[in-house]
Amino acid sequence: MARPKNAFYAQSGGVTAVINASACGVIETARKHKTKIGKVYAGRNGIIGALTEDLIDTSKESAAAIRALRHTPAGAFGSCRYKLKGLEENRAQYERLIEVFKAHNIGYFFYNGGGDSQDTAYKVSQIGERLGYPVICVGVPKTVDNDLPITDCSPGFGSVAKYVAVSIREAAFDVASMAKTSTKIFVMEVMGRHAGWIAAAAGLAAEKAGDAPHVILFPEREFDEEAFLAKVGKTVKAQGYCAIVVSEGVRDKAGRFLAESGTKDAFGHAQLGGVAPVIAQLIKDKLGYKYHWAVADYLQRAARHIASKTDVEQAYALGKKAVELALKGRNAVMPVIVRQSNKPYKWTVGEADLADVANVEKKMPADYITADGFGITKKCRTYLEPLIQGEDYPPYKNGLPQYVTLKNAAVKKKLGGTFKV
Amino acid sequence: MARPKNAFYAQSGGVTAVINASACGVIETARKHKTKIGKVYAGRNGIIGALTEDLIDTSKESAAAIRALRHTPAGAFGSCRYKLKGLEENRAQYERLIEVFKAHNIGYFFYNGGGDSQDTAYKVSQIGERLGYPVICVGVPKTVDNDLPITDCSPGFGSVAKYVAVSIREAAFDVASMAKTSTKIFVMEVMGRHAGWIAAAAGLAAEKAGDAPHVILFPEREFDEEAFLAKVGKTVKAQGYCAIVVSEGVRDKAGRFLAESGTKDAFGHAQLGGVAPVIAQLIKDKLGYKYHWAVADYLQRAARHIASKTDVEQAYALGKKAVELALKGRNAVMPVIVRQSNKPYKWTVGEADLADVANVEKKMPADYITADGFGITKKCRTYLEPLIQGEDYPPYKNGLPQYVTLKNAAVKKKLGGTFKV
């Protein structure tokens, strides 16, 4: 009987609080099928690890270490921002992949990432047919931006959503306390250059009239300074303070990012800061209110300490399902979340063709934003609410979360030379 | 038998994740001694509530609502930044306080705040002797800055400390994943304009060589650009990335805040941004590394979701003790944390004279910072480590922490006219 084929797994694009939970799902499930899948080799820094034959032998990791991936944020094997070109444009890349796969008996390819990464996965899925090397390629979805199509949501998003909703609720309690004699405005900047999914999620904190956040600025809506200032002024009069969430991707009427419109450093370089200070300063200049602002940046997508349990479970389930699909011989597919019901929230794992996933961006529906452009609708809330349900706390020691750092032992190289990426 | 005197309680200065836990300790303890303390009236917005006769009747709040203060961040009764002048400078303020205290039968005064607030508490404690109105005045310590003297630590600090240590650990896992092809530098700005206690606490995340944060910039050390850049470059070479924590109070050789040195907005106004973007841009300009930066701002001091259990317990215990001291007739005192041992960490509650507390700032000892100026010493770690021990999660509903908003029913005014503050 032939040796079972090994699997290649890699993480790609911006990492999340739960991408390692998907890795855990992939590796734990593969380990349960040792007659069919040999070793799982992880690519060090995504597809670059495959191209440079820089493979990590995950079989060297203990069961406990792999289990700990479930509660460890970020990419345990390193990620990359590197997009494969088309087969016609760079045939050498694909021939190199095949060379590495052959050398290491790799027959399964799992690629964990967002839109660009699923494009890479899709391209790799074609090398069987087009270059005659049989590899079963399955994508594993991941993105804090929640912009992958077909899947109801994307792992990583639910945890950022929970973080931003919790954070704006807490900061708003703070500013409400201080508003009498001090800060009246709080601006929190969140990720989302093209889509307002994360900004919208902050809106979950506002459960009843008057609750923060009072204003959300979406990249989907052109920034209307006059309407915005009127809304802020009205809110301060009614509530005594105003808590604002702004997406990094908000643009002015000319289509420029607001983040780029305001600041220059001492040398005249543009864009030192984010959009939060620009918005805060605008309010100060026009309305005179004292402000504070925060830019959460990586803190939001790395915040495993406040991850959504739903998100962690889905991330794991999708990793597990990816392996199950591969074992069924399904090539060029990606497992997806299928929503069965809202209340109670029920979901199952379905399957999409990578051809339908690659390079398609899921936009936020127009009717998820209120008519005034500054809030989320009930429909949006109904969609988002289940995604932040449940807490899944990591273990703590000495007051700090215990995240695993793997050994990441290199697989001995079998090929001569190097490959330039 | 005379009616028992009522108590006045108020929150002052910047709020914290656990100041309401102290309020809970005060009110729950007072409720257990109804024969000696009548009602607890809270000042709406600190001492301003007393001056303007804007009192909140906490007896209208249910036991459950008061209990929920223990897990609710920020100041439930509103805070203020307002310092009483000296008796000679503004006698009218003190006469007004006495007028309000008399009108509402107030014989106990609890003031929950940091250095400036304890100065106010101390001044109020003297009105018995100097103006003939007997009031027992007890301070309750609170400050994220950890700069109150005598007490081993200040409630509020431990939770910020935990937040910043957890956050930099998580963000560093993120940037480590991305460093191969993308971000190599992460800069997190933390609070602390005069003292580096919070920045130092972030250093707890670095448990072994190579762990993040790799560089800490303290307000106690003049910013040395050359040494800093050398350290960053060396770290990137060794670790592949560099995670930096910078205190908002870092100054250059001329004594200017770095936060003010860099940025001008489109209108030429200085200081749009914080210090994190200035540091990040400097690294980009001089070393060429791609960066991300975060400014946690209010998120750090409001982060009740990741509060230190030790901190919550101490905040409650000090509120409780304040009432017990008052019942013993102790005037012009403040309960303090006394450290009994480090391992295991043991603490008791002691007592300090407000005269010794008011306007004294506890500096971070010089030997808490490493010789190169970029890290914390073992001695510092020994001091800080116990303060972040334990988690004390708030209850969640629909994926969000359930913080209480009190009714804050006003006590009927008994005095005519208004008092201008």
| Residues A16-55 pLDDT 10s | 999 999 999 999 999 999 999 999 999 999 999 999 999 9
The pLDDT of residue A1 is: 57
CB atoms within 10 A of CB B414: 12
Angle of helix B225-239 versus helix B275-287 axis, rounded to 10 = 70
Scan for tokens 């944390």, then name that residue.
Answer: B337
How many Å lie between the alpha carbon of A95 and the closest alpha carbon of chain B? 22
- State the catalytic residue, choosing from B57, B145, B147, B311: B145
Contact between A15 and A301 under an 8 Å Cβ cutoff? The reply is yes
3-state secondary structure of B5: strand
| Residues A61-71 pLDDT 10s | 999 999 999 99
Label residue A416 by pLDDT band (50, 70, 90).
Answer: confident
Question: Can you say whether residue A388 is alpha, beta or left, with left for phi > 0 and alpha for psi between -120 and 50 degrees?
Answer: alpha
Q: What are phi and psi of A72, to 5 degrees?
A: -110, 125
Q: CB B272 to CB A262 under 8 A?
A: yes
For B66, residues 6+ apart whose C-beta sits below 8 A from its C-beta are B24, B27, B28, B31, B58
The pLDDT of residue B265 is: 44
Q: Which residue has the higher pLDDT, A301 or A2?
A: A301
CA dihedral A141, A144, A147, A153 (to 10 degrees): 60
How many Å lie between the alpha carbon of B286 and the closest alpha carbon of chain A? 13
Percent of chain A with pLDDT over 90: 88
The pLDDT of residue B2 is: 75
**Helix (H) or strand (E) segment spanning residue B55:** strand B55-57
For A185, residues 6+ apart whose C-beta sits below 8 A from its C-beta are A175, A232, A236, A241, A242, A244, A280, A283, A284, A289, A290, A291, A292
* Topology, domain A157-302: Rossmann fold (3.40.50)
Percent of chain A with pLDDT over 70: 97
d(CA B356, CA B250): 28
The question of whether B265 is a catalytic residue gets the answer no
Tell me which of B82, B166, B186, B308 to substitute to probe the interface with A (most A C-beta atoms closer than 10 Å).
B166
Q: Tell whether the model's pLDDT for residue A228 goes beyond 90.
A: yes
Q: CB B295 to CB A298 under 8 A?
A: no
Closest CA to B53 of B63, B43, B61, B62: B43
The ipTM (two decimal places) reads 0.96
**Helix (H) or strand (E) segment spanning residue B382:** helix B378-384
Q: For all residues of chain A together, what is the average pLDDT?
A: 94
User: Looking at the domain covering B5-145+306-360+392-401, what would its CATH class be?
Assistant: alpha beta
Q: Which residue has the higher pLDDT, A265 or B47?
A: B47
Residues of chain B within CATH 3.40.50.460 domain(s) are 157-302
Residues of chain A within CATH 3.40.50.450 domain(s) are 5-143+304-360+389-401
CATH entry 2.40.340.10 includes domain A5-143+304-360+389-401: no
Closest B-chain CA to A176: B78
Weakly modelled stretches of chain B, pLDDT under 70: 1, 261-273
The pLDDT of residue A273 is: 58
Q: CB B261 to CB A266 under 8 A?
A: yes
| Residues A361-380 pLDDT 10s | 999 999 999 999 999 999 99
Q: Tell whether the model's pLDDT for residue A381 goes beyond 80.
A: yes
Closest B-chain CA to A385: B398
The pLDDT of residue A261 is: 63
Peptide bond preceding B213: is omega within 30 degrees of 0, i.e. cis?
A: yes
Q: What are phi and psi of B140, to 5 degrees?
A: -120, 120
Q: How far is CA A185 from CA A32, A287, A293, A376, B264, in A?
A: 54, 10, 8, 20, 21
Q: Tell whether the model's pLDDT for residue A271 goes beyond 70.
A: no
Give chain B's end-to-end CA distance (angstroms, integer): 37
- State the catalytic residue, choosing from A57, A145, A152, A311: A145
Residues of chain B within CATH 3.40.50.450 domain(s) are 5-145+306-360+392-401
Contact between A263 and A272 under an 8 Å Cβ cutoff? The reply is yes
